[in-house]
Each structure stands twice: as structure tokens, then as C-alpha cells.
Amino acid sequence: MPASPARRTALTVLRRVEEQGAFADRALHGDARELDPRDRALAKRLVFGTIQRRGTLDWIIARHVTRKLDPQVRAALLIGLYQLLYTDVPAHAAVAESVELAKPSPGAKLVNAVLRKVQREGVHLPSDDTPEGAAIVHSHPEWLTRMWWDWLGPDEARALLAADNEPAELALRINPLAGVDVDLKGRREDDAIVVEGPIDVLAHPLYAAGAITPQSRASQRVARALDPQPGERILDVCAAPGGKTTHVAALMGDEGEIVAVEKHPQRARALEAQAKRLHASSVNVHVGDAKDLTAGRLGGTFDRVLIDPPCSGLGTLRTHPDLRWRATPEAIEVLRREQEAIVEAARGLLKPGGRLVYSTCTLSPREEVVDQGTVERTLPHRDGTDGFYIAVSDGDL
């Protein structure tokens, strides 16, 4: 009997991530498009969960297999182990379906043998009382575990590592510019609603009407920290995909001007489409490199400046599980230099006495390049939302 459509899709996506460097969410969006909602949800759970737990699962595989595995066999084994150890999928189904995924390779017999042994004997992971052990137990790179261990302390680090492997809450931003009542069930917090129960956001009529848009509660704090006022001139650098940009427009009642700068033309077009869907006519998209901005090119200076530069994204590991395996200390240093250059350019565009907000969706002290004024940091295990760093500077800089 062939494997289920959800599991076959999960195998395809996992292999694309592992072998081609694809981003899990984007690959899943394409490959799971034709599945029914239930199968699509299962495929997402298997892909995200297997990638999240890959470090632990690799550690387990290394204790049962001494030879290099064919990519299809390895992916099937990872998916099977994830189901056995971290889900309520019946063990017989997890084993049988994973064996089918590995066929026609002879390695299917190895998948069967390893999964049945783990089913019988379980696994014995190391203690998480050291960075090395915590990296294995909570499935994070050891360098990242050590960084958080030294920065936050062992207890906070362990709590953060564990939280990264939990499902993310589904937070939406309610957009008053749409002029549509939003009657979804959930917990309200300012413009945010944390939805209860399943919902296909992108297919919902409220999404098409521009009344709701997915955005974490932490991300929604950024525009509020900027505190834009109607009639002001606002600069938003590195603005795509536009969640914060359009939130700024909503807080201003769409009165004033928001110059949204985006370097990449394709992302700039997506930003324009996002602004149109969310009825943010005050947004004016400018294609250009944030490091090369001048008042002359942008028509003068600004009352408020929002800087949301490229970052390592280590605060979003619940929703982007593969980022933990992509990030490196070396890449963070490159990002820091880019962030510093963007901040230097943007500071020159702020009017005297204006407000500058610097935000990143990461938890990395090297990427906190603005530390003047008021600083806020959200932590997934403490705040239940993405990890963000937000620095607010008022007055002359």
C-alpha cells in the first residue's frame, strides 16, 4: 500500500530542503498546494517538526547506522523517527508508511529495522545541563546553544530552546483601513487577534478584503513603538514584505506619507501589492539600496524612521524551523556590518527631534547595533510570540 499523499509530499519537501537548500515554508506552499486541508496540515507538521528536530534525529541515527544513507532513505527515516518520538501517530503507521517512503531502495529494510528497534527500546538522550547536551536534546546548533547559554544563562537558554520547538500561535493583525468587521474567535491585544482553532488565512474572505493579515504580536509592537501620527512623513527602510509598513499606515489613518524602501525589485512589487490589498494608499515604494539613501533622492528628511534590516531571524525559529541550520556566526558578523551601514545612512534622514526605531526579528546580541533610548526584547518562552529586539531613540542622534 503506497504512503499517504501528506507523507509523500513531506518527503519531497524535506528532500528539497536538505539537498537543494530550499526554504521549508516556500517549498511546502508549492508542493502541498493540491492537497486537501487535512493532508496539507499533516504535511506541514511533518516537515516543520522533522526539520526542527533534525539535530536530535541525526544524533539518534548515528547510533544505529554506520554507513552513509541514500538521501531518500535518510529522509524517510527522519520522518519516521519524528512521528515515533514526537507525535501521537500510531507506531505501526509511522513505521509502515516510512518504509513505503523509502521504497524501492533496498534501504527500506534498514528503515524498518531502525524504527522497530527505536519503538522497542526507546532512546536515551543526554542531559541538557550542558550546552553540548542541550544542543542535542533541544535540536539546535551547538554554537547557537552556547551563545544563548552565555548570554541568557542556562535556565533561560533551556527554556528558549524548548520553546523554539513548540507550535507558534497564529496571530493576525486587524486592519481598520478595510472598514470591515472582523468576527473571528480569539484573544485580542491591540490590533492583534490570536486565533482559536484552524483557519486557512490566505483563503479567507477577510484576507481578500484586506481586513486581516498574518503578523506576529512581536512584529506588531514595532509600528506602535514608532508611534506615527497623521500627516507625518515616515521612512521605512528594508520594508518588504510590508507588514510593519502597512501597520504604520493604519496607525496614521492612512494620512501622511510613508516612503517604503526595498532593494529588490521583485520584493518591491510584492510590497506594492500588499499595500494595495491592505488599503494603504499613503505608502510610496522606492526601489533602492538602504545604504545609499540620501535626502535628495527621497525628497527631504522624515519625522520618523523605521529600520528593519536583514537579520539572522533567530527569533522566528518556530515558524521558520530551517533558519537554525542556515545561520552561522560568520554570517551574523556580515549581517552586523550591513546593519551598521544601513543605520548610518538612515540616521542622516531623520529630522531634528524625530524618532528612530530599529528592530530585528532575532535573538543575537551582535545584531543589536542600536542601543540608545528605550530597548524592548521579546522572548518566545516568556512572551509567547517571536523573539524581537526593538530600540527606540528620540531626539538628536
Spell 204-235 as b/e; 16+ CB within 10 A means b: eebbebbbbbebbbbbbbbbebbebeeebbbb
Give CA–CA dist 281/302, Å, rounded: 18
Q: What angle, 0 to 180 degrees and rounded to 10, lies between the N-to-C axes of helices 5-20 and 37-52?
A: 40
Phi, psi of 281 (to 5 degrees): -75, -15
* Lookup result for grid cell 503507521: 93
Q: Which residue from 243, 196, 237 is spatially nearest to 217, judged by alpha carbons?
A: 243
* Residue in 361, 369, 379, 392 annotated catalytic: 361
Residue 361 is among the residues annotated as catalytic for this protein: yes
Give CA–CA dist 249/146, Å, rounded: 40
Give CA–CA dist 352/358, Å, rounded: 17
Omega before residue 241 within 30° of 0, cis: yes
Q: Which residue from 96, 102, 87 is spatially nearest to 57, judged by alpha carbons?
A: 87
| Grid cell in block for residue 145 | 546553544
Query: Do residues 79 and 11 lie in contact, with contact meaning Cβ atoms separated by under 8 Å?
Result: yes
Beta bridge partners of 391: 358, 375
H or E element that contains 235: strand 233-237
386 contacts: CB under 8 Å, gap ≥ 6: 168, 216, 217, 218, 219, 315, 316, 318, 319, 361, 378, 380
Q: Which residues participate in catalysis according to the annotation?
A: 361
